């Protein structure tokens, strides 16, 4: 048997594996050992000139997915990983579909190694804590002074240097380093592990790897830990406290690197009182929930809506503006539901949605697309008109997120009543009501999102944006955005598909 020591490096294994395949060595002909584990003299002297018994593979070939998995598995500490990877590589030459056979023993073992490495990588991203050190260039014993650094390029001797020590389960530093380089690109930092170390030079934008160092070489604490504990305390959510999960996700062996462990017992002890305070605070927030009937049918909803006092908007509006159901079936499932922002001045007076200038823009787009408005359910995310009085004029004001949230129970009740196949949100407020406060309208308009409320939710600009355009070309472009997104939503509603119909914007 041919025995080859492999360095803990994927590319060293890859070089030897390619040569072995070309020479025709079957998996049972070779033993690829971990070079970091000492072998006995007897093993070293056995079989000095082994003969290959397998098939010669002049040009080895493998799927890209295998190379990706093999590179991850190569970082595992299992001493048998190199033989496993070669065994699968050899089999792939004649079994190209091997990776899809999940019950295969070799494939199952490979998947297990990859999963463990990925989990270890996730832990390292989460649990590395940097500490600031003063890099005195005159201190010859200081391993973090610029003169002793292995970084490429120049380093300002007075620049701050951040150092972290971490002990991963596997040899994953080379996999984890790019994450920290991207996250802390402007910092001069070093990560130490028992196996290797890596430093980042913010000037040259390069990583430099070096030997490992023990825990004693890393700084023990710094003034930033006080800030970190304060930050952790501020983001700690007592309502989501689950000690069993915390112990599972944050095992004891990581605690020595985590300054927040000092405050965690106190946060856990205080969690019950903090949850009670959070519940009381939440109860004081405006909400339409107490006014929404338990029966979610449109006649019942519309009858209850005028009594809503879930937020202060009812104090100034003329009346509530409910949704308008398709005339053919006012209380049954509809294919398309359109949700606007809030009633405008004319809608407030008429008690119906989209009857003003923005409504006329919407009607024009519907007509050009051949969509009968009477087949669509039309409503608003906020049911009362919000405005500021300027003489006799009532100028529209965007509703606050708290007002959108307060009115949301009405919208959800309407959705439950009509069960639309597709919801088209007209404007940012409507989109945020269903897709969250971080939704970006101009970035994500025309995309289809799955939600708990409808299988497909599409967002587009509000028709009023066309009216506010700075010039005619801008107005035409915005109108085409609206029309294209409306066509997409209607096509998906009719056909149950998100395929873009043949609509071209100018």
Cα–Cα distance, 149 to 132 (Å, whole number): 16
Predicted local confidence at residue 392, as pLDDT = 87
- Confirm whether 503 is domain-assigned: no
Say if residue 308 is in the same domain as residue 456. yes
| Block residue for tokens 């971990």 | 34
Say if residue 140 is in the same domain as residue 111. no
Phi and psi torsions of 442, nearest 5°: -70, -20
Say if residue 62 is in the same domain as residue 81. yes
* Rounded mean pLDDT, 174-178: 95
Say if residue 139 is in the same domain as residue 95. no
Q: Is 227 exposed, middle or buried (0-12, 13-18, 19+ CB in 10 A)?
A: exposed
Q: What is the DSSP string of 353-416?
A: SS-SHHHHHHHHHHHHTT--GGGSEEEESS-S--EEEETTEEEE-PPPHHHHHHHHHHHHHHHH
Structure-model confidence comparison of residues 374 and 40, the more confident one: 374
For the stretch 39-89, pLDDT in tens is 654 444 455 667 889 999 999 899 999 999 999 999 999 999 999 999 999
Predicted local confidence at residue 238, as pLDDT = 72
- Confirm whether 500 is domain-assigned: no
Say if residue 75 is in the same domain as residue 158. no
Give Cα separations from 343 to 371, 422, 446, 481 (angstroms). Answer: 22, 22, 23, 22
pLDDT bucket at 410, cuts 50 / 70 / 90: very high
Structure-model confidence comparison of residues 68 and 496, the more confident one: 68
Phi and psi torsions of 309, nearest 5°: -130, 40
Cα–Cα distance, 3 to 47 (Å, whole number): 8
Contact 453, 460 (CB under 8 A): no
- Confirm whether 13 is domain-assigned: yes
Q: Mean pLDDT over all residues of the chain?
A: 84
pLDDT bucket at 503, cuts 50 / 70 / 90: very low
- Confirm whether 341 is domain-assigned: yes
- 456 pLDDT exceeds 70? yes
Q: Is 261 exposed, middle or buried (0-12, 13-18, 19+ CB in 10 A)?
A: middle
Cα–Cα distance, 342 to 394 (Å, whole number): 14
- Confirm whether 276 is domain-assigned: yes
For the stretch 87-142, pLDDT in tens is 999 999 999 999 999 899 999 999 999 999 999 999 999 888 888 876 554 444 44
Say if residue 98 is in the same domain as residue 202. no
- 378 pLDDT exceeds 80? yes
* Rounded mean pLDDT, 328-354: 85
Q: Which of 284, 304, 331 is the last residue of a domain?
A: 284
Predicted local confidence at residue 160, as pLDDT = 81
- 175 pLDDT exceeds 70? yes
- Confirm whether 504 is domain-assigned: no
Tell me which of 153-157, 239-243, 283-287, 340-344 is least confident: 153-157
Structure-model confidence comparison of residues 327 and 468, the more confident one: 468
- 500 pLDDT exceeds 60? no
Cα of first residue to Cα of last residue in the chain, in angstroms, is: 70
Q: Which of 267, 284, 301 is the last residue of a domain?
A: 284
Furthest-apart CA atoms within the chain: distance in Å: 101
For the stretch 355-369, pLDDT in tens is 999 999 999 999 999
Q: How many domains does the chain have?
A: 4
Q: Which domain, by its residues, includes 178?
A: 131-217
Residues 89-99 as b or e (16 or more Cβ within 10 Å = b): bbbbbeeeebb
Say if residue 370 is in the same domain as residue 491. yes
pLDDT bucket at 222, cuts 50 / 70 / 90: low
Predicted local confidence at residue 190, as pLDDT = 92
- 274 pLDDT exceeds 90? no
- 302 pLDDT exceeds 50? yes
Predicted local confidence at residue 380, as pLDDT = 95
In the chain, the percentage of residues whose pLDDT exceeds 90 is 57
- 502 pLDDT exceeds 60? no
Say if residue 70 is in the same domain as residue 209. no
Say if residue 338 is in the same domain as residue 440. yes
User: Which residues, 6 or more positions from 101, have their beta carbon under 8 angstroms from its beta carbon?
Assistant: 107
pLDDT bucket at 429, cuts 50 / 70 / 90: confident
- Confirm whether 222 is domain-assigned: no
Say if residue 144 is in the same domain as residue 28. no
Q: Is 135 exposed, middle or buried (0-12, 13-18, 19+ CB in 10 A)?
A: buried
Say if residue 39 is in the same domain as residue 176. no
Say if residue 209 is in the same domain as residue 314. no
- 488 pLDDT exceeds 90? yes
Predicted local confidence at residue 129, as pLDDT = 86
- Confirm whether 263 is domain-assigned: yes
Q: Which of 93, 125, 157 is the last residue of a domain?
A: 125
pLDDT bucket at 157, cuts 50 / 70 / 90: low
Q: In this structure, what DSSP letter does residue 239 have?
A: G
């Amino acid at each position: 048997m041919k025995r080859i020591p492999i360095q803990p490096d994927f590319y060293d294994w890859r070089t030897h594996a390619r040569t072995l395949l070309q020479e025709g060595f079957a998996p049972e002909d070779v033993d690829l050992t971990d070079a970091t584990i000492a072998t006995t003299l007897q093993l070293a002297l056995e079989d000095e000139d082994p003969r290959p018994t397998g098939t010669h593979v002049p040009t080895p070939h493998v799927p890209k997915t295998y190379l990706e998995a093999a590179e991850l598995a190569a970082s595992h500490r299992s001493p048998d990983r190199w033989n496993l990877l070669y065994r699968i590589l050899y089999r792939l030459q004649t079994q190209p579909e091997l990776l899809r056979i999940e019950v295969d023993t070799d494939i199952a073992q490979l998947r297990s190694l990859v999963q463990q490495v990925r989990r270890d990588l996730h832990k390292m991203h989460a649990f590395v804590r940097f500490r600031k050190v003063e890099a005195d260039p005159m201190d010859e014993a200081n391993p973090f002074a610029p003169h002793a650094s292995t970084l490429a390029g120049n380093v300002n001797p007075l620049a701050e240097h951040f150092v972290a020590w971490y002990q991963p389960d596997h040899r994953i530093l080379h996999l984890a380093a790019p994450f920290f380089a991207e996250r802390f690109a402007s910092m001069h930092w070093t990560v130490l592990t028992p196996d290797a170390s890596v430093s980042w030079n913010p000037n040259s934008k390069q990583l430099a790897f070096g030997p490992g160092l023990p825990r004693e070489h890393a700084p023990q604490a710094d003034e930033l830990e006080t800030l970190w504990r304060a930050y952790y305390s501020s983001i700690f959510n007592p309502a989501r406290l689950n000690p069993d999960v915390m112990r599972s996700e944050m095992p004891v062996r990581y605690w020595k690197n985590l300054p927040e462990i000092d405050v965690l017992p106190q946060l856990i002890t205080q969690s019950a009182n903090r949850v009670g305070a959070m519940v009381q605070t939440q109860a004081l927030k405006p909400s339409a929930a107490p006014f929404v009937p338990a029966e979610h049918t449109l006649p019942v909803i519309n009858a209850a809506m005028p009594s809503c006092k879930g937020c202060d908007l009812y104090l100034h509006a003329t009346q509530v503006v409910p949704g308008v159901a398709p005339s053919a079936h006012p209380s049954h499932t509809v294919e398309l539901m359109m949700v606007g922002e809030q009633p405008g001045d004319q809608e407030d007076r008429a008690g119906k949605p989209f009857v003003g200038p923005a409504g006329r823009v919407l009607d024009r787009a519907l007509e050009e697309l051949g969509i009968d408005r009477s087949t669509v359910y039309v409503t608003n995310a906020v049911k009362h008109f919000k405005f500021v009085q300027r003489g006799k004029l009532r100028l529209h004001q965007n509703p606050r997120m708290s007002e959108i949230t307060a009115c949301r129970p009405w919208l959800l009740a309407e959705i439950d009543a009509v069960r639309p196949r597709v919801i088209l949100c007209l404007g940012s407020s409507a989109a945020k009501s269903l897709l969250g406060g971080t939704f970006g309208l101009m970035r994500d308009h025309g995309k289809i999102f799955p939600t708990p409320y409808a299988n497909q939710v599409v967002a587009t600009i509000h028709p009023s944006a066309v009216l506010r355009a700075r010039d005619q070309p801008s107005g035409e472009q915005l109108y085409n955005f609206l029309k294209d997104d409306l066509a997409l939503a209607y096509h998906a509603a009719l056909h149950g598909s998100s395929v873009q119909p043949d609509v071209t914007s100018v």
